[in-house]
Structure 1
Amino acid sequence: MTQDVSNGSRDRATILAVDDEPDILIALEDLFEDGYRILTATRPAEALEILRAEPDIAVVLSDQRMPEMTGDAMLAQARAFHDAQAILLTGYADITAVIAALNRGGIIGYVTKPWDADLLRGTVRNAYERHRLGRDLATERALLRGLLDHAGEAIAFKDGEGRFVRLNARKAALLGSDVAACLGRRESEFPAARADSVAADKAAIRTGAVSESLVSDGPIGAERWSHVVRVPIRGPSGAVAHLATIERDVTEQKSLEARLRQSDKMQALGTLAGGIAHDFNNLLTAILGSLELAVPRVAGQPRLERLIENARGAAERGASLTKRLLSFSRTHDLHARATDVNALIEGMRDLFGRSLGGLVSVRTDLAPNLPAALVDPDQLELAVLNLCINARDAMPEGGQITVATAETRIADDPDLAPGTYLRVSVTDTGSGIPPEILKRVCEPFFTTKAVGQGTGLGLAMVFGLAQQSKGRFHIDSEVGRGTRVELALPCAEGAAETADAAEAEVPVAARPARVLVVDDDPEVRHVTASFLADFGYSETEAESGAAALALLEGERFDLVVADLAMPGMSGVDLAASVRAMRPDLPVLILTGHADAIEIPEDLPVLAKPFQSAELARQVSALLEA
């Protein structure tokens, strides 16, 4: 029979009383009902059923001599599935059974019948406290086990001598072992252990203070970064008895932080490159324009003509370098067109010499009669240059770089449409790339070079060009033998586009026209105005947008030629004001950096530096429109 004498309350400890004499059970209920929830059973089998149904029973009070089964035998069975503390009640001097039960761990004590009420209460109270502490300890162990087994961090507990007393599988894996093999051993005993961990552990134990550190291991470029927290744990005496270490892998976080810093630097560098390119283009416009204007004045003087031609050639190489600088600073989409890749690479010979230094030689192996590739030529040129610079850096003591082209057929790549592709490859005889680094070389901002010596954008940019061009990027490398990088580019349907050659005869003015030239740079403004005067147009100069608007209010012009980037009022702002005053008056924008200011699509643009023929064609087309 089961009786709940606590009026259904479940917030008090539960006691199970087992005795085949009902009077004894009633006496026990009377003794404990004020402080405990009481359950009773008259048979051992019934008691076992109650224990299976009531996992929260804290104490079992059991008679020893009962029909069917003795108390110690029943308690021994209960111990197999229940954690209740057991107290044996006996009215006989059956000391042998008591000793046997104590030896089996089945009971924590016994009380003889008739009992002393205070002694029995004290025994039950102590048993309950023992049960509660056992439950609390089991909960803490379960929580710790769950933390160790499922935490993303590598967690370990060590004694004062640095020996493992607890650790999780993640920590053991970092040491190249398993949990069981690590227990009782020091971290320094494992080959995979970091050399600085022992010293850091000793320092934390010595100072007794929580410490944090950021450590790395692994080869340069493929490091694994960890944030390690060491927590000294003091024992009863107040001295540090144990040390907890928590290691969290922050490699991805460090990588993201590095990418963010590098991105900020690259953004600033791109802005700087654009600004420098703008200033250089203004200078080159004045230089090239002045030289072009000077050529007719030295006709018949070969020495002067040669000097002017040399100066013009140098200025045009400067213009080409500035164009590359602008290409680096841009972030807009690619402009793919039919490109003669062989001609592009041949045109880079001077650039190779200036950019790569004298320790490496560049050999070209260009297959003849290749089809045109559908690619952005500026970005392809920058990609080839990046690959050559990487190859040079892999050969600090010198070597040979081979730039090759060939036609190839691709039919087995699921990411590419089957067909004919143009292959561009750059091969070096350098140190090669280790496998653990090779798999990361195309990540943006990933670099193995020292701080300040690499951006981590070279191969990422080449990979991006291949993807955006609907081509393929492939890299093969072997340590000690060198690296080969290949780009497979789709072929264009038509022939390669060529830049319009400057016409031998500059178009002259088809009709008289007045042109207003607006530029804050007096040299550029003078060259532009001189070109227009040579064409046969009437030109007027203005040094700013405000000055130009003042002239437009009092005079009539047929065309406005304005610089884009001017202080106070940009060329775009000026064009908007001109259209408001004279909707029929065309405006031509001249710019050394088209990305500096957003230009409306319907506004014609001529990039600096320009030749007189280019300016003549643009002006003539606008006047005839």
Structure 2
Amino acid sequence: MERTAAQAASEQAVILLVDDEAEILTALTDLLEDSFEVVATTRPEEALSLLAAGLCPAVILSDQRMPGLTGDAFLERARAYSDAEALLLTGYAELDAVVGALNRGRIAGYAAKPWEPAGLLAMVTAARDRHALRRALETERALLRGLLDNLPDELSFKDAEGRFLRLNAAKARSLGSTITDCIGRRESEFLPPRAAARLARAERGVLAEGAVSDLEEREGPEGGTRWMQVSRVPLGGGVLVTIARDVTEARQMEARLRQADKMQALGTMAGGVAHDFNNLLTAILGSLQLAERRVGGEEAGLRRLMRNAAMAAERGSALTRRLLAFSRQNELALRAVAVNQLILGMGDLLARTLGGMVMVRRELGANPGTAMVDPGQLELALLNLCINARDAMPGGGTITLSTADVTVDEQAVPDLAAGSYVRVSVADTGTGMTPEVLARVFEPFFTTKEVGKGTGLGLPMVYGLVRQSGGGLTIESVPDQGTQVHLYLPAGHGEVVRDRVEPHDAPLARESVRVLVVDDDATVREVTAGFLSDLGHDTVEAEDGPAALRVLEGDPSVQLMVVDFAMPRMTGAELSERARVLRPGLPILLVTGYAELTALAADIPVLHKPYRQAELAEHVAALLG
């Protein structure tokens, strides 16, 4: 429970008694010692020394007539050391001096000698309480002054006419003025007419209806939009307090979090779409491959059309791999990559993505070494950089992709150790960036693009890629002169791992076996079974896990199972475990359209969709020994 000022004051406040007669001091001490901590002296000079040394009385009670220094003169000098309430003891003949001292405002009261004990005690007690209340008021004022001076929010107090009674520096700065210039003036004097009218309506509504908190949009000092949470509270008597807090960063963070949620959902959706798309591509490519074998040699035109369709499906497969690379969350798969070949292989992707107003030039080094990097992530990083470059050239322009072997010295590139690197650069002829923007380009979600046209994640993703790969990144940009981004990738020391190019025709199986094909997608199941039949195997099909288990229980001639991973009711992994219980040692091949799925066990290999017949044949042959 909070104590009142009077309760606090009653806790043995100090009183300083000064009188040149020891007997009077003894009498005063006897009267006051139950309610005060008494300090007494017969010499005014000693009393001044005590005050100078740090004595902090609430009340000083002094005799008026003392040798060497009168009471009113002593009390006036005591003001230099103490804010105590000053009281005088005086005879009737000295009333003129007392009246003069009171008129000068130096003494709060007096008592005549001889005093009436109850009256003197009441006067001293009242003086102590006044001192305590004054101290409490000064504390409150100091707190309010500190709040006004240091509060980052805009705080102001106004009268019923809208004139400033008090305001802090933040509020004055928002009006382009000073505290002194604002006091007594209306806020509307500092605002444009429309803003002043809105303010007047808002303040009238608050005084009539009560406290209101609104979100207001303002123009920032550099022309940008600022959002202010403005709370207006009527205090009574027509006084209105207004607190305005800048919530621009909070709103931007909320928008960024919403965007991050969208990006996470997009990544999840991309993985699911890519999986479904891989099933479609498996059916399309497999059907085209099977159909092409059944077309006679005289149907050259039809075979050409089918091969064109297959090539289009292969491009769809490449796009799907990029979607899966975007959606996956596993560690980078670093390997030796020929960056020139990777860049040349992105030609179609860049042409479709960047549009016809942008020309892409390639200035590739004659024989740059390999770089240790995840090729899928490097493709995505270069695509991001090229999209940024395109957006910086709204009227069109040129993007230059270049490569070179470089040797980096210590501290030549920030956070990059000295050594040999492959430098991959993306340069544009666009608008460039100011130093202020350039300093923030690696901040997640920071973007200068309009809402809906940029996430602020592109450059941070690129930076994260090169740092995880053990490399570095620099950006050079000048307003109206374009931007250059240099990726420094660690030089590779192994052979380039090339994507496998399978032969168009798969060899027939050396031995025919009965194969159980399990897939919930009928078209994919049919293609897989067709591939296996063309290879010379006998096939039996099942649409899900329970149906496959029934086949295994009733058909002991099954010697191999090819099973899809993502199926309803029972996944391929679960089916594999239960099949091993029924048929220990049964060879199993798991097929999937997900990029992040790896082998579930040492003896369960994984084949990724879409696959060619030759790939399936190779895996089946390996499983059959």
TM-score (norm 1): 0.86
1:44 matched residue in structure 2? 44
CA-to-partner distance for each residue in 1:417-462, whole Å, 9 max, x for gaps?
3222111122222222333333222222333333333332211211
Q: How far apart are the structure 1 equivalents of 2:430 and 2:189?
A: 38
Q: How far apart are the structure 2 equivalents of 1:418 and 1:20?
A: 87
* 2:569 maps to amino acid: G
Change (3 A) 1:224 1:239: closer
CA-to-partner distance for each residue in 1:175-205, whole Å, 9 max, x for gaps?
88988898788878999x9x96996598347
CA-to-partner distance for each residue in 1:233-266, whole Å, 9 max, x for gaps?
44xxx121x6353636672x44543343222212
- For the residue of structure 2 that corresponds to 1:57, the secondary structure is coil
* 1:532 maps to amino acid: L
2:300 matched residue in structure 1? 302
Q: How far apart are the structure 1 equivalents of 2:335 and 2:184?
A: 68
2:138 matched residue in structure 1? 138
2:577 matched residue in structure 1? 576
- For the residue of structure 2 that corresponds to 1:364, the secondary structure is strand
Q: How far apart are the structure 2 equivalents of 1:366 and 1:219?
A: 46
Contact kept, 8 Å, 1:201 with 1:230, in 2: the verdict is: no
Q: How far apart are the structure 1 equivalents of 2:255 and 2:587?
A: 48
CA-to-partner distance for each residue in 1:553-604, whole Å, 9 max, x for gaps?
1222221101111111111111111111122111111111244799456521
1:350 matched residue in structure 2? 348
1:380 aligns with 2:378: yes
Kindly state the Cα deviation for residue 87 of structure 1 after the two structures are TM-superposed.
1.9
CA-to-partner distance for each residue in 1:247-298, whole Å, 9 max, x for gaps?
36672x4454334322221221112111111111111111111111122222
Give the aligned CA root-mean-square deviation in angstroms.
3.5
* 1:326 maps to amino acid: L
Alignment size in residue pairs: 607
Change (3 A) 1:180 1:463: farther
Query: In the TM superposition, what are the counterparts of 1:405-484 in structure 2 within 5 Å?
Result: 405-411=403-409, 412-413=412-413, 415-484=415-484
Q: 1:290 aligns with which of 287, 290, 293?
A: 287
Query: In the TM superposition, what are the counterparts of 1:99-178 in structure 2 within 5 Å?
Result: 101-102=101-102, 105-115=105-115, 120=120, 123-147=123-147, 153-154=152-153, 156-160=155-159, 161=162, 163=164, 165=166, 167=168
- For the residue of structure 1 that corresponds to 2:568, the secondary structure is coil
Q: Which moved more, 1:77-86 or 1:500-509?
A: 500-509
Contact kept, 8 Å, 2:413 with 2:473, in 1: the verdict is: no
Contact kept, 8 Å, 1:156 with 1:164, in 2: the verdict is: no
CA-to-partner distance for each residue in 1:478-516, whole Å, 9 max, x for gaps?
222222222111111134221222135523212232211
1:279 aligns with 2:272: no
* 1:283 maps to amino acid: L
2:15 matched residue in structure 1? 15
Kindly state the Cα deviation for residue 319 of structure 1 after the two structures are TM-superposed.
0.9
CA-to-partner distance for each residue in 1:396-417, whole Å, 9 max, x for gaps?
2322222222222211346223
- For the residue of structure 2 that corresponds to 1:65, the secondary structure is coil
Q: Which moved more, 1:223-232 or 1:263-272?
A: 223-232
Contact kept, 8 Å, 1:507 with 1:617, in 2: the verdict is: no
Contact kept, 8 Å, 2:471 with 2:490, in 1: the verdict is: yes
Q: How far apart are the structure 2 equivalents of 1:145 and 1:579?
A: 79
Q: How far apart are the structure 2 equivalents of 1:296 and 1:484?
A: 50
* 2:137 maps to amino acid: L
1:621 matched residue in structure 2? 622
1:494 matched residue in structure 2? 494
Q: Which moved more, 1:115-124 or 1:38-47?
A: 115-124
1:263 aligns with 2:264: no
Contact kept, 8 Å, 1:546 with 1:569, in 2: the verdict is: yes
Kindly state the Cα deviation for residue 318 of structure 1 after the two structures are TM-superposed.
0.9
Change (3 A) 1:429 1:114: same
Q: How far apart are the structure 1 equivalents of 2:514 and 2:485?
A: 56
Contact kept, 8 Å, 2:413 with 2:474, in 1: the verdict is: no
Task: Give aligned-pair identity as a percent.
Answer: 53
2:202 matched residue in structure 1? 203
Q: How far apart are the structure 2 equivalents of 1:495 and 1:37?
A: 93
Kindly state the Cα deviation for residue 375 of structure 1 after the two structures are TM-superposed.
0.8
Change (3 A) 1:10 1:125: closer
* 1:416 maps to amino acid: L
Q: How far apart are the structure 2 equivalents of 1:562 and 1:493?
A: 38
Q: How far apart are the structure 2 equivalents of 1:601 and 1:138?
A: 79
Contact kept, 8 Å, 2:385 with 2:426, in 1: the verdict is: yes
2:85 matched residue in structure 1? 85
Kindly state the Cα deviation for residue 535 of structure 1 after the two structures are TM-superposed.
1.3
* 1:290 maps to amino acid: S
2:543 matched residue in structure 1? 543
Change (3 A) 1:525 1:550: same
Contact kept, 8 Å, 1:220 with 1:448, in 2: the verdict is: no
TM-score (norm 2): 0.86
- For the residue of structure 1 that corresponds to 2:558, the secondary structure is coil
| Unmatched segments (≥5 aa) in structure 2 | 1-8
Contact kept, 8 Å, 2:157 with 2:165, in 1: the verdict is: yes
CA-to-partner distance for each residue in 1:112-154, whole Å, 9 max, x for gaps?
4445667656654553343222111122133334545666x34
* 1:453 maps to amino acid: K
2:534 matched residue in structure 1? 534
Query: In the TM superposition, what are the counterparts of 1:224-235 in structure 2 within 5 Å?
Result: 227-234=229-236
Change (3 A) 1:276 1:132: same
Contact kept, 8 Å, 2:598 with 2:606, in 1: the verdict is: no
Q: How far apart are the structure 2 equivalents of 1:30 and 1:276?
A: 95
1:523 matched residue in structure 2? 523
1:603 aligns with 2:604: yes
Q: Which moved more, 1:142-151 or 1:308-317?
A: 142-151
Change (3 A) 1:248 1:48: farther
2:245 matched residue in structure 1? 247
Contact kept, 8 Å, 1:204 with 1:232, in 2: the verdict is: no
Change (3 A) 1:444 1:142: same
Contact kept, 8 Å, 1:222 with 1:437, in 2: the verdict is: no
Q: Which moved more, 1:222-231 or 1:257-266?
A: 222-231
* 2:568 maps to amino acid: P
| Unmatched segments (≥5 aa) in structure 1 | 1-8
1:590 aligns with 2:587: no
Q: How far apart are the structure 2 equivalents of 1:406 and 1:177?
A: 57
Change (3 A) 1:157 1:119: farther
- For the residue of structure 1 that corresponds to 2:530, the secondary structure is helix
Change (3 A) 1:301 1:257: same
Kindly state the Cα deviation for residue 156 of structure 1 after the two structures are TM-superposed.
3.7
Q: Which moved more, 1:132-141 or 1:474-483?
A: 474-483
Query: In the TM superposition, what are the counterparts of 1:382-397 in structure 2 within 5 Å?
Result: 382-397=380-395
